[in-house]
Amino acid sequence: MSVLSSPAALRPRRLAIAPMLDWTDRFYRYFARQITRRTWLYTEMVTTGALIHGDASRFLRFDEREHPLALQLGGSDPVDLARCARLATEWGYDEINLNVGCPSERVQSGAFGACLMAEPQLVADCLKAMQDVTDRAVTVKHRIGIDSVEDYSYLRDFVGQVHAASGCTVFIVHARNAI
DSSP letter, residue 18 = P
Q: At what angle do helices 78-91 and 120-131 cross, to 10 degrees?
A: 40
Positive or negative: CA dihedral 23, 46, 29, 176: positive
Q: What is the CA radius of gyration of the chain?
A: 15
The full DSSP string for 120-132 is: HHHHHHHHHHHHT
Are 43 and 72 in contact by the 8 Å Cβ rule? The answer is yes
Interatomic CA distance for residues 172 and 31, integer angstroms: 23
Do you know the residue count of the chain? 179
Active-site residues: which are they? Answer: 102
- Bridge partners (DSSP) of residue 41 are 17, 69
